[in-house]
Amino acid sequence: MNNFAWVAPRTAAEAAAAASAVVADAMTAAPEAMGCEEAAILKAGGIDLLDLLKENLLAPTRLVNLRDVPGLDAIVEEGGGLRIGATASLAAVAEHPLVRRRYPALSDALAGSASPQIRHVATLGGNLLQRPRCWYLRAQEHRCLRKGGSHCFAVDGENQYHAIFDNQVCAIVHPSTAATVLVALGAAVELIDAQGATRSVALEDFLVPPQRDLRRENDLKPREILAAVRLPPLPASVRMAHLKQGEKDSFDWPLADVAVVVELAPDGNCRRASVVLGAAAPMPHRAKSAEQALAGKRIDESIARQAASAALAGATPLAKNAYKLPLFETLVRRALTKALALG
Amino acid sequence: MFAQAGEAYTPGGDESLHRRVAARMRTEQVTAQASRGDDYGGFAGGNKHSGRGIGGYGGVQFAEVAVDTETGIVRVERVVAVQDCGRPMNPRQIESQVQGGVMMGLSYALYEERILDAHTGRMVNPNLEQYKLAGPRETPAIDVTVLENYRANSATDAYGIAEPSNIATAPAIANAVYNATGVRLRALPMTPAAILAALGKVPARS
């Protein structure tokens, strides 16, 4: 781990002005150049960042501390929806009464993530912007595609925890469980630049698939910060659930996680549905076939089974992760069962 | 059946004879002998082998598991551990030691694996984030029974029981998984991937 200077901005715009590089760019610098180039990196909870520093994957000259920027962790009601400040801790979001009442799937996803200690330090913004957990990306000795190398070690290597969709070039899975739910909910992110100007982008568009850029997972720019996550207001007839399955219950990454959000018509039929799979693809994976299988139907056990099976349409499992197919199918069915209180 | 060529099998007898006989047995025959008292060093004739590493460490464990046959997740709900410990000098500490041994055995059965990349030879999970160990929520109810045993093997008759208490856990869990699902897993750890494959639920790649 290198020495670095500490920057303590007092406003979001000051923080944006100080942040000269995003983590993804700083990590693709050649190893011999690391620490020589000027790079000021944002730090919120520091959960992911300190791992990267300690593994010598990142050597910033300055860290810009977002934690003490006043008001950046506020959770406020906004026209029937919710605006969650980027530095709100996962625990604070999970326990917030309005999150629990209006977006119980988000509360469930965050309440079960990592460990209690980490949930109280990790921030929602940091969770969305963390680098993937691929063990090749996280090891200095594997100079993989995403670090500027020329080879994906996972595609023909140890890929038991990797993607089953969209995995032909780089087989990472998106690391954020929160993102699975937030994409299903249609959330947007609010970004602030050095002049204090904001832009708001749907989270689904903010995340970057490998086809667009292999070296980053999101569209955060230098001199910009992720200031908040915006949750849209939802009709009272919306039902939702999030389920995740890790190998362990304590402190483990999900092998698979699923968010379902179903809006019911007055007759009780499904008006529209979002089914999103996490730990399945480089981005939260929208299971469009499953959504189509649910639209317009009165969802019962049999429809839930059909949708679960449809959710895996088009999957291209690798040598060691085909077990994720039955796992996801089970979770989609169970998530629908839970959301709609079937059976 | 296995005592051939005039070599009589006598419990507590010549240890080298036991080894020669055992070497000729098929695996399942050797396994069939594993629970006999003489396998633990010979309760009758241990002293004449002094200096050859014969101890008196017996332990028996029982595991109760729940297997989710749709996700492949195994949860150990209860372990009963009966551990021979010679003279218990500090019974609470022995119980704690056995509980620790059970947790190590549980991790070995379900989680721990040193994963090497076949192309580069590097270990890909050399940290506590990727190398999996059982945590608080994987901890089953553990009932420990400390079995006293006085055989004048030493001045105090006290044994160390650090390692012995984690030997039986993984086999007990594997047997319980077999009992629950009807399929035998021959490799550890018994991950969801391995369980689902053993149950025939993992589709072949097209």
Q: If you average pLDDT over residues A55-78, what whole number do you get?
A: 95
Strands A224-231 and A81-85: antiparallel
For residue B148, name the pLDDT band (cuts at 50, 70, 90): confident
More confident: B7 or A64: A64
Annotated catalytic residue within B7, B70, B148, B163: B163
Tokens of B163: 């390692």
**Calpha distance B164→B58 (Å, rounded):** 8
- Residues 174-203 in B contacting A (C-alpha not used; CB under 8 Å): 191-193, 196-197, 201-203
Is there a contact between A229 and A187 (Cβ–Cβ < 8 Å)?
yes
Instruction: Out of B129, B130, B138, name the one closest to residue A250 (CB).
Output: B138
Residue B206 confidence (pLDDT) above 70: no
Residue A37: Cβ within 10 Å count: 15
Mean pLDDT score of chain B, rounded to an integer?
A: 81
Residue with tokens 């920057």: A7
- The class (CATH top level) of A5-67 is alpha beta
The predicted model scores a pTM of 0.88
Q: If you average pLDDT over residues B13-36, what whole number do you get?
A: 56
Q: If you average pLDDT over residues A181-185, what whole number do you get?
A: 98
What does R_g of chain A's alpha carbons equal in angstroms?
20
**Calpha distance A35→A57 (Å, rounded):** 10
Q: How many residues does chain A have?
A: 343
For residue B15, name the pLDDT band (cuts at 50, 70, 90): low
CA angle at A57 for the pair A53 and A59, rounded to the nearest 5° = 60
Q: What percent of chain A has pLDDT over 70?
A: 97
CATH topology of domain B56-198: Aldehyde Oxidoreductase; domain 4 (3.30.365)
For B2, residues 6+ apart whose C-beta sits below 8 A from its C-beta are B9, B21, B22, B24, B25, B29
For A13, residues 6+ apart whose C-beta sits below 8 A from its C-beta are A192, A193, A194, A195, A196
Alpha-carbon torsion (A331, A333, A335, A337), positive or negative: negative
User: Cβ–Cβ of B136/A139 closer than 8 Å?
Assistant: no
Among A7-11, B49-53, B63-67, B172-176, the range scoring the smallest mean pLDDT is: B49-53
Half-sphere exposure for A105 (CA within 13 Å, toward CB): 32
**Calpha distance A72→A66 (Å, rounded):** 8
Residue B149: Cβ within 10 Å count: 17
Catalytic residue list contains B163: yes
Name the minimum distance, in Å, from the CA of A322 to any CA of chain B: 6
Q: Which of A56, A86, A25, A1 is nearest to A222 (CA)?
A: A25
Interface test with A, best of B76, B77, B124 (most A CBs within 10 A): B124
Residue with tokens 């729940």: B66
What are the extents of the domains in chain A? 5-67, 238-339
DSSP A151: B
- Give the three-class secondary structure for A157: coil
Q: Which of A128, A176, A187 is nearest to A281 (CA)?
A: A176
DSSP A207: B
**Calpha distance A152→A136 (Å, rounded):** 8
For residue B43, name the pLDDT band (cuts at 50, 70, 90): very low
For residue B28, name the pLDDT band (cuts at 50, 70, 90): low
- Residues 275-294 in A contacting B (C-alpha not used; CB under 8 Å): none
Give pLDDT, residue B10.
52
More confident: A342 or B25: A342
What are the extents of the domains in chain B? 1-52, 56-198
**Residue B119: its chain A contacts at CB < 8 A?**
153, 156-157
Q: Which of A247, A129, A227 is nearest to A179 (CA)?
A: A129
Give pLDDT, residue B23.
66
Check if B44 contacts A (Cβ < 8 Å).
no
Check if A135 contacts B (Cβ < 8 Å).
yes
Half-sphere exposure for A146 (CA within 13 Å, toward CB): 31
| ipTM here | 0.94
Mean pLDDT score of chain A, rounded to an integer?
A: 95
User: Cβ–Cβ of B202/A326 closer than 8 Å?
Assistant: yes
Phi and psi at residue A334, to the nearest 5°? -70, -35
CA angle at A96 for the pair A10 and A51, rounded to the nearest 5° = 55
Q: How confident is the model over A255-299, as pLDDT tens digits?
A: 999 999 999 999 999 999 999 999 999 999 999 999 999 999 999
Residue A163 confidence (pLDDT) above 90: yes
User: Cβ–Cβ of A319/B205 closer than 8 Å?
Assistant: yes
User: Cβ–Cβ of A136/B192 closer than 8 Å?
Assistant: no
Give pLDDT, residue A243.
98
Give pLDDT, residue B45.
45
More confident: B204 or A234: A234
Check if B124 contacts A (Cβ < 8 Å).
yes
**Residue B191: its chain A contacts at CB < 8 A?**
160, 247
User: Cβ–Cβ of B138/A323 closer than 8 Å?
Assistant: no
Q: Which of B34, B196, B153, B61 is nearest to A323 (CA)?
A: B196
What distances in angstroms separate CA A126 from CA A130, A141, A167, B155, one per listed residue? 6, 25, 24, 60
Instruction: Out of B117, B118, B135, name the one closest to residue A248 (CB).
Output: B135
Q: How confident is the model over A113-162, as pLDDT tens digits?
A: 999 999 999 999 999 999 999 999 999 899 999 998 999 999 999 999 99
Region of A91 please: left (phi>0), alpha (psi -120 to 50) or beta.
alpha
Helix (H) / strand (E) containing B171: helix B169-181
Q: Do domains A5-67 and A238-339 have the same CATH topology?
A: no
Q: Give the DSSP letter string of A38-84.
A: --EEEESS-HHHHHHHHTTS---SEEEE-TTSTTTT-EEEETTEEEE
Residue B1 confidence (pLDDT) above 50: no
> What sections of chain A are H helices per DSSP?
12-18, 23-28, 47-54, 90-95, 97-102, 104-111, 116-121, 124-129, 177-185, 203-206, 288-294, 301-310, 324-339
- Domain covering A238-339 in this structure, CATH number: 3.30.390.50
User: Cβ–Cβ of B120/A142 closer than 8 Å?
Assistant: yes
Give pLDDT, residue A36.
58
Residue B39 confidence (pLDDT) above 50: no
For residue B35, name the pLDDT band (cuts at 50, 70, 90): very low
Q: How confident is the model over B73-108, as pLDDT tens digits?
A: 999 999 999 998 888 999 999 999 999 999 999 999
Tokens of B184: 């035998």
Give pLDDT, residue A107.
98
Is there a contact between A179 and A284 (Cβ–Cβ < 8 Å)?
yes
**Residue B130: its chain A contacts at CB < 8 A?**
133, 135, 138
Residue A81 confidence (pLDDT) above 90: yes
More confident: B31 or A319: A319
**Residue A135: its chain B contacts at CB < 8 A?**
124-125, 130
Give pLDDT, residue B34.
45
**Calpha distance A9→A309 (Å, rounded):** 50
Residue with tokens 């995403």: A146
Q: How confident is the model over B163-190, as pLDDT tens digits?
A: 889 999 999 999 999 999 999 999 999 9
Give pLDDT, residue A67.
94
For B115, residues 6+ apart whose C-beta sits below 8 A from its C-beta are A158, B123, B124, B125, B130
